[in-house]
Amino acid sequence: MAQILAALDEGGANTVLTEAIASVPALSKSGSGSLGPFTASYTVHGHFTGGSIDLVAPATVRIEHLRCVWQMALSFGIDLDDFLPHFCLPQVCVHIPCVGRVCTPKICLSWPTIGVTVPFGDDVEASADFGLDVALIGGQWKVQIVVQNLSQLQFGPGTAGILALIGAAITPPLLVIPFIGPFLAGAVDLILAAIGIAGLTGFLGPILSPFLSGLKIPVYAQDKHFKLLPADGPFDPDVFVELDAVDARIEHSDEDELVLTVGISP
């Protein structure tokens, strides 16, 4: 079979795939989740950097220390009615001569909902085994590496400070509530402390995991109807060849190599 072959050693694969990882468009996601007793909505953006490539025959690309740098805007409201007893002025009735019995209505005060948006960000790291995926899609050959196994996420050191950030964002609006503000701020701090890092990572993990587990890193993309030479004047049109088949594999000899083979015909 007429064949073109290209191979990358691990050093070359590190360069090529690191660039490919950085070229993956930023991902974003919105939704809501539970952070302790709070229901929070979020919008998160993430992009990928780094990683150390290990080629494992016959078809695995292992990336250690794959980093996802993320920024999140977390919005949640604290409904004070959930925390504080309802405060009502009871109905009072008096008898007025010539008028009769007059009653005031029962007046209940609703506690406000304190809304807060907290922007923060950090990075999360994982190691992943990627498989090689070759497909002809819309007339274009694509070789991608696709996550098969993902290790547990390792949150960066900045994650520990996120609870403090949330507390710092919530405390000021609570403190302005007359009489009970300091009490509420203290209560929220206690709640956040109870949530702890475990609760926070339990909240962030399901949000960020799909970013990594769905990651596809492009390795090769060319039209099946491959332009070999561009037109060169009116009598020399474009020259094309057909890329009939593409294969990708990891070969092991005295070193591991990512090997692409491309079968062509006129």
- Positions in the binding site for other proteins (CB under 8 A): 1-9, 11-12, 15-16, 220, 222, 226, 228-229, 235-241, 243, 251, 253-255, 257, 259-260, 262, 264-266
Residue among 4 and 56 whose Cβ is closer to other proteins: 4
Residue among 26 and 221 whose Cβ is closer to other proteins: 221
Q: How far is CA 256 from the centre of its chain?
A: 32
Shortest separation between residue 48's beta carbon and other proteins, angstroms: 19
Question: Quick one: which of 225, 221, 232 has its CA closest to 266?
Answer: 225
Please tell me the distance from the alpha carbon of residue 20 to that of residue 149, in angstroms, as a whole number.
Answer: 19
Residue among 1 and 98 whose Cβ is closer to other proteins: 1
Shortest separation between residue 136's beta carbon and other proteins, angstroms: 14
Half-sphere exposure of 165 (CA within 13 A, CB side): 17
Residue among 207 and 262 whose Cβ is closer to other proteins: 262
Residue among 162 and 243 whose Cβ is closer to other proteins: 243
Question: CA 154 → CA 10, 82, 123, distances in Å?
Answer: 25, 34, 9
Alpha helices in the chain, H assignment, sequence order: 10-23, 162-175, 181-213
Shortest separation between residue 202's beta carbon and other proteins, angstroms: 41
Shortest separation between residue 224's beta carbon and other proteins, angstroms: 11
Please tell me the distance from the alpha carbon of residue 41 to that of residue 76, in angstroms, as a whole number.
Answer: 6
Shortest separation between residue 223's beta carbon and other proteins, angstroms: 9
